[in-house]
Amino acid sequence: MSGPGVGFEYPPTEVTWLKRDVLLFAQSIGCTAEELHFLYELHPNFAVFPTYPVILRKAISVPFLHAV
């Protein structure tokens, strides 16, 4: 697999996501009841799981992911 080298930075790209996307991600990686703030959008401390932005770059580079 050949990819960008050390120090490469992707150009800034605007992305959008829905709460549904974030909730499905948290569920799919196995967040538990102890991590309810990642699984329940009405939780007072609702947050996006810290590694979620990693897949946003993939969604940009694979156009058919947003075709649905």
Report field, pTM of the whole predicted structure over 0.95: no
* Distance of alpha carbon 25 from alpha carbon 23, whole angstroms: 5
Query: What is the percentage of the chain residues whose pLDDT exceeds 70?
Result: 78
User: pLDDT tens for residues 35-65?
Assistant: 999 999 999 999 999 988 888 766 655 554 5
List the chain domain ranges: 19-66
Q: Write a three-state SS string for 2-66.
A: CCCCCCCCCCCCCCCCCHHHHHHHHHHCCCCHHHHHHHCCCCCCCCCCCCHHHHHHHHHHCHHHH
